[in-house]
Amino acid sequence: MPLFGNSFSPKKTPPRKWASLSNLHLLDRSTREVELGLEYGTPTMNLAGQSLKFENGHWVSESGSFVGDRRELQRLRKRNQQLEEENNLLRLKVDILLDMLSETTAESHLMEKELEELRQHSRRKK
């Protein structure tokens, strides 16, 4: 009799008679999609009275064209372009200011180093 023998030996479960009690696996794919709700269709949404659907990675109006005011759309595009140009100008100014700051910092460090050398030189003369 082993001291640490295998005292736990569960019984084997009997094999199942039926793989599934549901008869959905017997149906063809289109019927299963209808039964299980797997056919989603294209995503749609209603935004400010405008019905939109998602096609090829973009939201498109279901009527095929934008029903908003064309002048408003042109104004928004022009404003967007102005803001992009202003953003580019501001980025350029920030880059110039950073260059000026790094140059001034380098000059300051050089001057501090020269000042320290002059102080050491004057102490040696005394």
Residue 44 belongs to a domain: no
Predicted confidence at residue 53, as pLDDT, reads 85
Residue 29 belongs to a domain: no
Residue 73, both tokens? 């759309």
Per-residue pLDDT tens, the chain, 126 aa: give them: 556 666 677 778 877 766 666 666 666 777 767 777 666 677 888 877 778 888 888 877 777 555 556 788 888 999 999 999 999 999 999 999 999 999 999 999 999 999 999 999 888 876
Rounded to whole angstroms, how far apart are CA atoms 64 and 52? 9
The whole-model pTM stands at: 0.43
Predicted confidence at residue 31, as pLDDT, reads 74
Residue 90 belongs to a domain: yes
Predicted confidence at residue 21, as pLDDT, reads 61
Residue 91 belongs to a domain: yes
| Phi, psi for 79 (deg, rounded to 5) | -65, -40
Predicted confidence at residue 25, as pLDDT, reads 65
Q: Domain range spanning residue 80?
A: 65-125
Residue 87 belongs to a domain: yes
Residue 61, H or E segment:
strand 58-61
| Burial bucket for residue 110 (CB in 10 Å: 0-12, 13-18, 19+) | exposed
Predicted confidence at residue 6, as pLDDT, reads 66
Predicted confidence at residue 95, as pLDDT, reads 96
Distances (CA, A) of 68 to 13, 49, 76, 101: 67, 11, 12, 48
Predicted confidence at residue 92, as pLDDT, reads 97
Residue 17 belongs to a domain: no
Residue 71 belongs to a domain: yes
Residue 53 belongs to a domain: no
The structural domain count of the chain equals 1
